[in-house]
Structure 1
Amino acid sequence: MSTNSHDSHSGNSKISKSDLWLIIACAAIIIFAYFDLSKTTVTYSNAERDVAERIQKVGAVQFRDAAKAARPGEDVYKAQCSACHASGAAGAPKFGDVAAWAPRIKNTFESLVNSALKGKGAMSAQAGGEFSDLEIARAVAYMASQAGGKFKEPEAPAPAAEEKK
């Protein structure tokens, strides 16, 4: 009896070149298939989005701010302008003071509105606040008219036809 335990397995254990190339080719195909398929798999978030796109309704509801009617100049004056113009705070011409308003009224209405919208002196810009530019212009016309000016409150523009989507 032999003391070497490997004697019973003494067969040829060499792999032929063709078998080696076959193993390498199979491994390459498996690796290529794994990486190629992993690129094309759909993730859960993509699948969810795709399903949502396929079953979306034909129409959609859009929420917008309701069109508000432009407030008259007197209301805007009371809400915004009277804080300074009622008392003449920070050099503001007092409401109804003909002498204080006279040099300003000599300017065009557009220049008065521009001063109100962009700010002048201690008065901060009124554009972009709670009131629209049209409402600020109406307040300017109201204040100037109460001090002897002959400015008419601007009318609201005609509503534009909304684009079809």
Structure 2
Amino acid sequence: MSDAHDEHESAIKTPKQLIVAVIAAFVVPIICIVLLVQFVTSDKLPNAGADAQTPEAIAARIQPVSDVGYTFKDASGPKQLLSGEELYKSTCSACHGAGVAGAPKFGDASAWAPRLKAGYDTVVGHALHGLNAMPAKGGNPDLDDVEVARAVVYMANNSGGSFKEPEVKEVAAAPAAEAAK
């Protein structure tokens, strides 16, 4: 019977290798400890929030939410009409951006072609009064008819159409002029 299973060989075969292994067993942990102490005691720690305590960063965190990205509008002031692009981005893109519920995608000339053949008045009428899954005025009853027409022209013209931008009637200026008298 062989005693081979009781024998094992060490990775250290010479006294020189033993000395190197003993020195490495002491030096490597000491180097790790020194590096950790240096990291912890350094002045500026990366990603540790050192910049988060500057006065500017604190002021940005505690400023009122209403000051960021909100514009207050005077409800009694004259209505500012949105451009076609602004209205598309705020309202129409929800469905026309992805083609939801059969809506023709923005820029898809083949999907818009049959609608464009129907003419400006028909397409604007569908936008104003709704058609199939599309609600009247895109679901926003506060929109002015001119705003909706501008959005239709913007979407149609970017999808192969050549509609003319609707003209704005000066209806809002007349009541303001009468009130000033």
TM interval, shorter chain, is 0.5 to 0.7
**Does residue 1:103 correspond to 2:114, yes or no?**
yes
Equivalent residue number for residue 161 of structure 1: 174
Equivalent residue number for residue 76 of structure 1: 87
RMSD: 2.1
Q: Which amino acid aligns with 2:92?
A: C
Instruction: Quote how far apart the aligned CAs of 1:66 are.
Output: 1.1
CA shift digits 1:134-163 (9 cap, x unpaired):
101100000000001001221211245334
CA shift digits 1:42-71 (9 cap, x unpaired):
xxxxxxxxxxxxxxxxxxxxx972112211
Number of equivalent positions: 103
Q: Residues 155 and 111 (structure 1 numbering): CA distance in 2 closer, same or farther, change over 3 Å? A: same
Instruction: Give the conservation status (yes or no) of the 8 Å contact 1:70–1:156.
Output: no
Instruction: Quote how far apart the aligned CAs of 1:131 are.
Output: 1.6
Q: TM-score, normalised by structure 1?
A: 0.57
CA distance in 1, matches of 2:95, 2:134: 9
Structure with higher Rg: it is: 1
Higher helix share: 2
Q: TM-score, normalised by structure 2?
A: 0.52
Instruction: Give the conservation status (yes or no) of the 8 Å contact 1:76–1:139.
Output: yes
CA shift digits 1:99-123 (9 cap, x unpaired):
0000100112111111011100110
Equivalent residue number for residue 139 of structure 1: 151
Where in structure 2 are there 5+ consecutive unaligned residues?
1-73
CA distance in 1, matches of 2:105, 2:75: 39
Identity level (%): 50
